[in-house]
Structures are given as C-alpha cells and as structure tokens.
C-alpha cells in the first residue's frame, strides 16, 4: 500500500479527501452506468462513500470496500451510510459471499496496482465476485499525456475549507516520473500549524497492456473511452475508461 493510502487512516486527512474530491463528471458517469433498474453493486476503493451512498439511495443494493479505516468511518457516518454494507479490505483481499451485477473502481484507484501480478490479482477478485455477464468498470490516466509533469507545487496548490477543521492548504510535488510509473508527494498544511506529507506511487497502463490483462483475467471488453463524455481514446484524451464483461 502507498504511504499516502496509509495516511488516510488519519481521520483529518480522510476529511480533506472529501473536500478535494467532490461530485464531478466521473461520479455522473458511474452513477449513470448503474442505471435505474436495481442492481447489486460493489464499489471497490469506495473511499468516503460519496458515490457509494448515492447509488444505494437510488435503489441499488450496494457494498463499499476500502482498506482505510479513516475513510470508512466517514462513509459509515455519511447521511444514508446505513443503506450500504461496508467492508474494510484491499481489492485483492475481497472474499465476499455475494455476487454482483456491477463492480466499480473509481478515482484512478486502479493505478495503485504497480506490477502485473497486482493487476491480475485485482481483476481475478473482480471476476470472482461478478455474476456471469456482470460488468467491471474502472479508469486510469492516459500515459500518453504525462499529466504528472504538472504535479508541481506551483500548478497544484489549492486551499480547501474542510468542515470541522478549517482551511487546509494542499499541493503535490513530483519525486520521480516516467511514462508508466510516477512517484509523488502530497503535502497538507493544517490551520493549527501541523503538516503531513504522504508519498504514493502509481502505474499508468498502456491501452494494449490493459486489453491484455483483462483478456487474460477472463473478461471481454465492452467499451473503452477517453473521457467521461464517452469520446474514443486518443493521444490527446486524458483518461482510459474501461468497461469489461465477465465471460
């Protein structure tokens, strides 16, 4: 697990996460993907449960899984959190009795799988927990854009107002970057004068690598998109959004 992921066991940092990541176009995409007909949905890496709870309140039967106790404490206490089954575990630790129509992994969480064995372990867990014909949906940044080149304090700094804490200054600094693997630090400065620095490493898969992995894991590709408006993948598109079907 990345050090930054570990740091979210601190409830203050989990609270900042919510303020840094409000409902956005990606949330709309996954919410719409679930549709109006009730489904059994597993949200892997659910974080503080913003989307997870919205899906449950829309009539779906939802389970949210995340390795961070800090994140899950906020998720459970969110209005509507009692409508969701919460599980503390990593993707490769999933061992649930339920089987699902849809599994989602949002927020670029798929990028934390740093080698082929980790990618395959996650996809195997998805496959095991889907019904035949069920869909897994997730995304990774398009490595062609090398967006990490803009992860500097000057370009990334922002101040967010966190309920119960106050204004928190946050910025990112790059430790090491290449087309397919990036190590970075996220800096948090709290109004009481305390600071926290979390370090993380991400892997950015090429499209062909992603296709090979999902096929090897027993999935067929239903769709690949380059952005949340469902445009095709291209060198200039920022995302690789995958919808894959369990064979």
Q: Are residues 151 and 138 in the same domain?
A: no
The reply to whether 188 and 238 lie within a common domain is no
| Tens-digit pLDDT profile for residues 132-159 | 999 999 999 999 999 999 999 999 999 9
Per-residue pLDDT at 5 = 53
Same domain, 98 and 11: yes
The tens digit of pLDDT for each residue in 7-31 reads 566 778 888 988 999 999 999 999 9
Three-state secondary-structure class, residue 201: strand
d(CA 104, CA 81): 18
Helices 207-216 and 116-129, packing angle to 10 deg:
50
Please tell me whether residues 102 and 128 are part of one structural domain: yes
Question: Quick one: what percent of the chain has pLDDT higher than 70?
Answer: 96
Q: Which domain holds residue 34?
A: 3-142+206-246
Using CA atoms, how far apart are residues 52 and 74, in angstroms rounded to an integer? 12
Task: Outline where DSSP puts E strands in the chain.
Answer: 40-44, 61-66, 85-88, 100-105, 130-141, 158-162, 166-177, 181-189, 195-203, 219-225, 239-246
On the CB side of 197, how many CA atoms lie within 13 Å of its CA? 8
Looking at every residue in the chain, the average pLDDT score rounds to 94
- Statement: residue 69 has pLDDT above 80: yes
pTM of the model: 0.95
Q: Are residues 134 and 182 in the same domain?
A: no
Query: What is d(CA 140, CA 237) in angstroms, rounded to the nearest whole number?
Result: 12
Kindly write down the DSSP assignment for every residue of 178-196, as one continuous string.
-SSEEEEEEEEE-TTS-EE
- Condensed to tens digits (0 to 9), the pLDDT of residues 26-50 reads 999 999 999 999 999 999 999 999 9
Domain count within the chain: 2
Q: Which whole number is the average pLDDT over 91-111?
A: 97
Same domain, 65 and 124: yes
What pLDDT does 9 receive?
64
Is the same domain home to 110 and 167? no
CATH of residue 120: 3.40.50.150
Bridge partners of 201, per DSSP, are 183
């Amino acid at each position: 697990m990345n050090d930054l992921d570990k740091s979210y066991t601190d409830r203050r940092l989990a609270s900042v996460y919510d303020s840094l990541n409000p409902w956005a176009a990606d949330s709309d995409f996954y919410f719409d993907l679930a549709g109006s007909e009730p489904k059994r949905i597993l949200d892997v890496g659910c974080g503080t449960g913003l989307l997870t709870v919205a899906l449950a309140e829309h009539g779906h039967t939802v389970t949210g899984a995340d390795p961070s106790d800090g994140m899950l404490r906020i998720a459970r206490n969110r209005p509507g959190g009692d409508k969701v089954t919460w599980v503390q575990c990593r993707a490769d630790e999933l061992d649930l009795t339920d089987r699902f129509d849809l599994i989602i992994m949002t927020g670029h969480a798929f990028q934390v799988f740093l080698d082929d064995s980790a990618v395959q372990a996650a996809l195997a867990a998805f496959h095991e927990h889907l019904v035949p014909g069920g869909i897994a949906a997730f995304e990774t940044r398009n490595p062609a854009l090398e967006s990490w080149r803009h992860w500097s304090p000057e370009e990334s700094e922002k101040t967010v107002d966190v309920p119960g804490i106050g204004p928190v200054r946050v910025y990112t600094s790059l430790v090491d970057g290449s087309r397919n693997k990036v190590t970075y630090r996220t800096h948090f400065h709290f109004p009481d004068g305390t600071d926290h620095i979390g370090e993380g490493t991400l892997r950015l898969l090429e499209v062909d690598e992603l296709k090979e992995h999902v096929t090897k894991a027993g999935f067929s590709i239903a769709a690949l998109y380059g952005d949340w408006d469902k445009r095709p993948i291209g060198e200039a598109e920022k995302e690789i959004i995958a919808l894959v079907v369990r064979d």
